[in-house]
Amino acid sequence: MILVKIIKYQLHDVMRSKWIIFYTAFYFIVIYGMLTFTNDISKVLLSLMNVVLIIIPLISTILGTIYFYNNRDYIVFMLSQPINRTTIFLGLYFGLAIPLILSFVVGVVLGIVVYSSSLQNYFGILLLIMLSGIFLTVIFTAISFWTSIKNEDRLKGFGAAIFIWLFLALLFDGILLFLIQALQDYPLETFSLVVSMLNPIDLARVLILLKFDIAALMGYTGAVFQKFFGNTTGMLISFTVLTVWAAAPLFFARKKFLKKDF
């Protein structure tokens, strides 16, 4: 199958990159270092959650943009062959997303393997953190592809991708809090639920914190999720919306790729 061959070629190319090695080593060092310096596993997992929610979208955005622009000559060559454009696009996408996911998972697993007995009671939370990391990798890799396809100029494409990450990771919560403060005289629970679903990073945070069941750390969005849906239903809704988030940017990036004149 042509798609599998393209993915294998891209995997071989990406896995030789030093960035992938550094990315894996980063998570190994972070988790191993935190477990070494503290015996409070819950604090370690909360710290890992914060690292995952910021670093994974950023790295996926940066590497996805660089990867696409660096492969433009390869893309042009592949388009000259009798190969379906969707096959080429998916081969490129999964050729990057899979190594990023493997690097994250391997780095975390290697970091905790020595402390596996201490983490038995926290396996569910750790699994949710890793699933959230996988979702965010898929989502932001697709977003980086979409901005790269949309913008011919590398600087514009890179800037657009970084702005999306900056907005979702940092600015979004500030704007939401401002709106809540400005409209505090009105019932905002439904509004907050709808708006929170527009941010995959917030959804991933809520998903993990619902498992932690720490009300003080949930923030306004997490508290509303817990109030309306409870822990189990809230997590199911978070998973569902994250799945939509994973599919939507990939769909739009593919649609743009099919029409793009390279």
Mean predicted confidence (pLDDT) in 239-247: 91
On the question of pLDDT at 146 being above 60, the answer is yes
| Per-residue confidence band for 11, with pLDDT thresholds at 50, 70 and 90 | confident
pLDDT at residue 112, rounded to an integer? 79
- Tell the burial category of 190 from Cβ atoms under 10 Å away from its Cβ (0-12, 13-18, 19+): exposed
On the question of pLDDT at 75 being above 80, the answer is yes
Instruction: Give residue-wise pLDDT tens across range 169-208.
Output: 988 878 877 877 777 777 766 777 777 788 899 888 877 8
Range of 225's domain? 2-259
Mean predicted confidence (pLDDT) in 97-120: 81
| Per-residue confidence band for 246, with pLDDT thresholds at 50, 70 and 90 | very high
How many domains does the chain fold into?
1
Q: Output helix, strand, coil percentages for the chain, rounded to the nearest 5.
A: 85, 0, 15
d(CA 256, CA 254): 5
pLDDT at residue 184, rounded to an integer? 72
pLDDT at residue 208, rounded to an integer? 80
| Per-residue confidence band for 215, with pLDDT thresholds at 50, 70 and 90 | very low
Mean predicted confidence (pLDDT) in 24-30: 89
d(CA 202, CA 244): 14
Distances in Å between the Cα of 125 and the Cα atoms of 27, 122, 167, 236 are 17, 5, 27, 15
pLDDT at residue 216, rounded to an integer? 46
pLDDT at residue 214, rounded to an integer? 56
- Pick the residue with more confidence: 159 or 212? 159
pLDDT at residue 101, rounded to an integer? 95
d(CA 240, CA 245): 9
pLDDT at residue 82, rounded to an integer? 84
pLDDT at residue 144, rounded to an integer? 95
On the question of pLDDT at 137 being above 70, the answer is yes
- Tell the burial category of 260 from Cβ atoms under 10 Å away from its Cβ (0-12, 13-18, 19+): middle
Mean predicted confidence (pLDDT) in 11-21: 82
- Pick the residue with more confidence: 90 or 43? 90
